[in-house]
Structure 1
Amino acid sequence: MENHYFFLIKTAWAFARHHRTTMVVVYVMFVIANLIAMSEPLVLGLFLNKLQEGGDDLLHMSILYLGFYASLEFFFWIFHGNARVMERQIGFDIVRNFKEQLFKEVASLPLKWHKDHHSGGVVSRIEKATKALNGFTQDSYIFIETIVRFIVCIVAFFLILPASGFMALGMGILIVITIFKFDRILISTLKAVNEKIHLSDSTFYDYMSNIMTVITLRLENLARSELVNKINAIFPIWRKNIRVNEVKWFSISMGLALTNFAILIFYIYSETKGGGVIMIGSFIALYQYTSRFIEVFFGLAWKYEQLVWYSTDLKSVNPIRKTFEKMEKKDQTKPPTDWDTITIKNLYFRYEDEKNEKHNLDNINLELKRSLKIAFIGESGSGKSTLMTLLRGLENPNKVKVLIDGKRFETLKSISNWVTLIPQEAEIFENTIEYNVTAGVAHKKTEVVKACELACFNKVLKRLPKGIKTNIKEKGVNLSGGEKQRLALARGLFAGQNSSILILDEPTSSMDTKNELEIYDNLFHEFKDRCIVASVHRLHLLKKFDVIYLFDGGKLIERGNFELLKKNEMFQKIWKIYEKSLKSE
């Protein structure tokens, strides 16, 4: 049977990192605090026995015992209070590290995975797991308290009346077995409930992210009905969970009430059967320990249920983490950052487009070198953009051989950290120009200005009222398609300022010829020590590139400089089509 507590502890330990020693100290302090708290019935019992026995100087004895009894609360808080402060601080760091790691893993997964997994469902899983780990790490003292107090109660029963210890231990084992049997049913229902919740969250996310379409097409009622149906689908499983849970609590309550009755009656019987005297202190101590024993088991049942919830919710992200781990294991070798030549051989990739039509990249071979300027040309659908996503590591090819300065690597992931891909689509945030360039990343103002200059967006900045602080939503700020593309290009150049490979997937397609030429001149001058790979639509730019790759139908047809490709029949055909398009403009 799986131990939910140790699974949660193991996860917390993994993400505690440099706080692990402090974590151990905190748990030891909680153990000491609970040992102090559980000594209260013993001290009170000894005092009452002494009081019952009588003797000289009862006042002095009472002051000593009651003073010590009162001081226990102080010493309890010395350990418990300080441990709680440290526990919650560590818990914050654990959850932060956990969420940071999840973001890293999700951001590292290939595009195909993201296409196959709804963003709303992914967010729902991450939020559930994060809340579960936060709930556990912020209040882990509760579980230590339960364990320590259970052990102390059993030991106390054996010390006061050995037979009651066996009774409590036997009934305790029986109740624990009962809890586990019920929770086995509850776990299966919780997993089913979570999956249904992920589906309803995905639907809600869909409608909210496309709310303008929903309102414009008057789909509010249909959308609301669909969402309610998804939520209602949770209820049958949830209802079963509720009923099983209440039967579990009834069984536990009856078992504990019977245990309490049996222990106290047996103590009275054993003390009086031979004409003995019941010591009030011992009886009170036994009664308090049986009361705490009942509290412990109620706590155990409730806290174990919490553990099940936390554990199940935390495992919501297992599909994400396992996919990432599997991907990471494929290539553990770290490539050199000071590379000179990257050779890619025999690359094959089979994929489906948005219309579910199948395409292939077939036996692609290319070479990347520092300072080399490479152009990709070919008709739409020839495989240029797909190859660029592979170079960035956003998809995994079915087969490839990668050599970095002659050393073999297993996947293109080995070079992905050096690559920045700047796409054609100009996604703009409804925020300031500065935020659109940096996406909220820490930066220097000079870096933003530099990126805008390279992308020729500085011309646009001059007419904006607040420069880079201008908000896109402000009245009078109307950016054209070409200006938006320049802003998106500035963001890509900011992100890629430390990348040794820059990949441009037609990021200037909506710009005029003058700005486009100026931008490429800027890039080739600023990044002369980088490898630049660009998908080129306007063929007048080709003379600026060192090497040109010609694609058709997912195959590499020809490679060489501009003068060499001019002799290729297919290139001549593409050039004629391009010249005709210029005349028609």
Structure 2
Amino acid sequence: MSEPISTDPAAAIVGERPPVGSTAEATAPVPEAPPETPVSLGALYRALWHHAAGARHLILWAFLLLLASQLFKLGVPWLAGKAIDAIQHGGLDGLAGAGRWLALVFAAIAASWLLHGPGRILERNVALKVRERLSGLLVGQLVSAPLAWHERHHSGETTHRVQQSSHALYDFAQSQFIYLQNTVRLVGPIVALCLISPLVGVVAVVGYGLIGLLITRFDRSMMRLAVDENRAERRYTAALVDVLGNVFSVLALRRGGGAARLIASRLADVFGPLKRSIVLNEAKWCSVDLLASLLWCVLVAVYAMEASGAGSGIALGKVFMVYEYAQQAGGVITAIAAHFQSLARQRADFAAAAPLLAAPSVQDARAPAAHGWRELKLEGLRFSYAASHGGGVEIDALTLQRGRRYALVGPSGAGKTTLLRLLAGLDRAGSGLLLLDDEAVEQAGDSLRSFATLIPQQAEMFDGTLEENLAMGESAAPETIAAALHAASADTLVAGLGMGLATRVAEGGANWSGGQRQRLALARGVLAAEGSALLLLDEPTSSLDPESEARVYQRLFRHFGEAAVVSSVHRLHLLDRFDEVILMRAGRIEAVGSAWALAQSSPLFRELLAAQGGEVGAGAS
């Protein structure tokens, strides 16, 4: 039994991956993501500290520089008040002393900026590092998640989660100066007010505490709305990705209006919580502004009443200090209202990373490992999809040998692609035994993944150069690329391009024909399969003409002469090129043998042949 995967955002925040799943774990139904809740402030700080590894000393230096900067700024009202007192008590004779105090005001402001600038540069560089680390972690987790997980999660929503959560932590990391600044500007003025008048200080503490409590109540409600908005925003993004990613079908079928209405309905779902949040936001700002303005008026009045009652007269410098410190604290309360709202949004947005970090992982070799086995056997293989929509397979026994070529045939829905995915280790069987040279192998899926490569039918192309599409971020020698292009019969195609491998490929390969895309995708697959002991082909030549298709198979068999090759074949004229045919129906292997032998013994095989008007010879060529 596998252990349940934690989807607690606070547990997943620092980037700890769940353990690599076993075969049974990988076939278990993927659990639905629980309702998201904003992560705690402590979880955000733990994530910041974790992803700042190697640059944590820069965080401390930035903190010290920014703290010193704020302390210099905190002294400005006191210095300015001293200048006013000098003029009040000395008249014209006090101008020189006031000038010295004002010079210190300018010096304090200059010193503050000399410290603030370097501190912010350090802080923002750390934020960039943190975003890079988190984004890399999430992408790494996604590319190691099993195929079944990806099939349960929309790529548009997943993309939105990566961008949203990594940007949230980046914003949080680069906003620390705001929290430090607000803390100093709130605590400092309150301490100063207490020193000027303890009564004024007590009134300030009570007043600002009540305003802070009000802000917290508002923003808790707005955080819950932000989670709902994020969920709707991901569905809106998914609809956009679907429509724009399949724009050919939308235009060809004249469904642009319907697609636009679908997107509009998804956007309307975003506006529901957003409109409620707008109302709460305006109510919050109105309350905070009115209460902060009222409070500084009350503080000045309290000081004036206390000073006049003492009979010592009212010092204008101290009145200015009370007013300025009260204004500073009031301004900070207003700023806190804004920044606390941003912080609440960051907590809600960062929670989007939790389902990605909770995704199961499977071991995945960067390149096929060398394997010396000569015979592979599968026994008692059972697999069904978690969604129970059919398409499972039950294979009692299957034997494959190195150096032999196997054609996988059968009617639509027979389970051919599912079997290929299982042989590639992309899907994990619920039960079954893998034997290599009659020795049982534990962790069958991981073992297959290490030496088997599946080249899919879908000719997926990516925005970039042709070389980038072929190598996919890996290094490859020019002669290796040339050999792969030749094996896929794409060498003459590339040779005819003016820019060769530097030719630009549009998104989805829209600037190439179907046959060109398929040959280039096949060449990419050949590169990825170098060294594979088991090559699996899922009709990768379906867009080619029969002559080109036959030439491609001839070259592939020569290129992978030492591997066992299993290819799903739709055009049965190719069967004479294979050593054996594996005939499937309804998820089971019905017969295995040469094409000629099956033509004599299998009614199903004869039906498939008759449907294409084909005949086969007496053996492979």
TM range (shorter): 0.7 to 0.9
Q: Deviations over 1:51-92 (max 9, x none)?
A: 545499856644543333222122212221012122222222
The 10-residue stretch of structure 1 (82-91 or 297-306) with the greater mean CA deviation from structure 2? 82-91
1:507 to 534, 537, 540: 540
Q: Is the 8 A contact 1:335 1:415 kept in 2?
A: no
1:489 to 511, 514, 522: 522
2:262 to 226, 229, 247: 226
CA distance in 2, matches of 1:363, 1:379: 14
Partner of 2:454: 421
CA distance in 2, matches of 1:288, 1:143: 20
1:377 maps to 2:408: yes
Partner of 1:39: 75
1:350 to 384, 403, 425: 384
One-letter identity of the residue aligned with 1:253: D
CA distance in 1, matches of 2:140, 2:209: 44
One-letter identity of the residue aligned with 1:420: T
Q: Is the 8 A contact 1:331 1:411 kept in 2?
A: no
Partner of 1:271: 307
Shift of 1:39: 2.0
One-letter identity of the residue aligned with 2:330: I
Partner of 1:398: 430
Shift of 1:123: 2.9
Query: Cα–Cα, structure 1 residues 570 and 361, in superposed 2: closer, same or farther, change >3 Å?
Result: farther
Query: Cα–Cα, structure 1 residues 90 and 517, in superposed 2: closer, same or farther, change >3 Å?
Result: same
Partner of 2:14: none
Alignment of 1:326-341 (within 5 A): 327-328=360-361
Q: Is the 8 A contact 2:452 2:536 kept in 1?
A: yes
1:144 to 159, 170, 180: 180
Shift of 1:315: 1.9
Partner of 1:174: 210
The 10-residue stretch of structure 1 (50-59 or 266-275) with the greater mean CA deviation from structure 2? 50-59
CA distance in 2, matches of 1:54, 1:3: 58
Partner of 2:295: 259
Shift of 1:582: 4.2
Q: Deviations over 1:389-417 (max 9, x none)?
A: 23445434334667899797557257546
* SS of 2:384 mapped into structure 1: strand
Shift of 1:295: 0.8
The 10-residue stretch of structure 1 (186-195 or 224-233) with the greater mean CA deviation from structure 2? 224-233
Q: Is the 8 A contact 2:368 2:530 kept in 1?
A: no
1:387 maps to 2:423: no
Query: Cα–Cα, structure 1 residues 575 and 440, in superposed 2: closer, same or farther, change >3 Å?
Result: farther
Query: Cα–Cα, structure 1 residues 172 and 416, in superposed 2: closer, same or farther, change >3 Å?
Result: farther
Q: Is the 8 A contact 1:550 1:571 kept in 2?
A: no
1:28 maps to 2:61: no
* SS of 1:18 mapped into structure 2: coil
Query: Cα–Cα, structure 1 residues 491 and 8, in superposed 2: closer, same or farther, change >3 Å?
Result: same
Unaligned 5+ segments in structure 2 are: 1-36
Alignment of 1:77-226 (within 5 A): 77-226=113-262
Shift of 1:304: 0.5
CA distance in 2, matches of 1:53, 1:404: 99
CA distance in 1, matches of 2:399, 2:367: 16
* SS of 1:397 mapped into structure 2: coil
Q: Deviations over 1:412-453 (max 9, x none)?
A: 257546653211233456876445423576655444323212
Identity %: 25
Q: Is the 8 A contact 2:369 2:532 kept in 1?
A: no
One-letter identity of the residue aligned with 2:520: L
CA distance in 1, matches of 2:513, 2:297: 82
CA distance in 2, matches of 1:331, 1:259: 61
Q: Is the 8 A contact 2:575 2:616 kept in 1?
A: no
CA distance in 2, matches of 1:112, 1:583: 39
* SS of 2:429 mapped into structure 1: coil
* SS of 1:348 mapped into structure 2: strand
Shift of 1:221: 3.4
CA distance in 1, matches of 2:182, 2:149: 42
Q: Is the 8 A contact 2:227 2:348 kept in 1?
A: yes
* SS of 2:489 mapped into structure 1: coil
One-letter identity of the residue aligned with 1:455: A
CA distance in 2, matches of 1:577, 1:388: 20
* SS of 2:454 mapped into structure 1: strand
Q: Deviations over 1:266-289 (max 9, x none)?
A: 212222212013333332222211
CA distance in 2, matches of 1:461, 1:337: 30
* SS of 2:578 mapped into structure 1: helix
Query: Cα–Cα, structure 1 residues 34 and 411, in superposed 2: closer, same or farther, change >3 Å?
Result: farther
CA distance in 1, matches of 2:440, 2:97: 83
Query: Cα–Cα, structure 1 residues 242 and 79, in superposed 2: closer, same or farther, change >3 Å?
Result: same
Partner of 2:55: 19
Q: Which has the higher contact order (CA 8 A, sep 6+)?
A: 2
1:300 maps to 2:336: yes
The 10-residue stretch of structure 1 (392-401 or 204-213) with the greater mean CA deviation from structure 2? 392-401
* SS of 1:135 mapped into structure 2: helix
Shift of 1:145: 1.4
Query: Cα–Cα, structure 1 residues 211 and 70, in superposed 2: closer, same or farther, change >3 Å?
Result: same
Q: Is the 8 A contact 2:77 2:321 kept in 1?
A: yes
Query: Cα–Cα, structure 1 residues 558 and 224, in superposed 2: closer, same or farther, change >3 Å?
Result: closer
Shift of 1:300: 0.8
Shift of 1:297: 0.6
CA distance in 2, matches of 1:500, 1:20: 46
1:70 maps to 2:106: yes
CA distance in 2, matches of 1:80, 1:206: 46
CA distance in 1, matches of 2:61, 2:464: 46
Q: Deviations over 1:189-213 (max 9, x none)?
A: 2222222222233333333233344
Query: Cα–Cα, structure 1 residues 577 and 411, in superposed 2: closer, same or farther, change >3 Å?
Result: closer
Q: Is the 8 A contact 1:375 1:536 kept in 2?
A: no
CA distance in 1, matches of 2:190, 2:447: 58
The 10-residue stretch of structure 1 (113-122 or 31-40) with the greater mean CA deviation from structure 2? 113-122
TM-score by length of 1: 0.81
CA distance in 2, matches of 1:385, 1:156: 75
Alignment of 1:306-325 (within 5 A): 306-322=342-358, 324=359
CA distance in 2, matches of 1:69, 1:340: 80
CA distance in 1, matches of 2:604, 2:407: 16
CA distance in 1, matches of 2:440, 2:121: 51
* SS of 2:537 mapped into structure 1: strand
2:391 to 340, 351, 359: 359
Partner of 2:18: none
CA distance in 2, matches of 1:583, 1:555: 24
Query: Cα–Cα, structure 1 residues 484 and 195, in superposed 2: closer, same or farther, change >3 Å?
Result: closer
One-letter identity of the residue aligned with 2:419: L
* SS of 2:382 mapped into structure 1: strand
* SS of 1:12 mapped into structure 2: helix
One-letter identity of the residue aligned with 2:489: C
Partner of 1:286: 322
Shift of 1:350: 0.8
Query: Cα–Cα, structure 1 residues 245 and 384, in superposed 2: closer, same or farther, change >3 Å?
Result: same
Shift of 1:482: 5.4
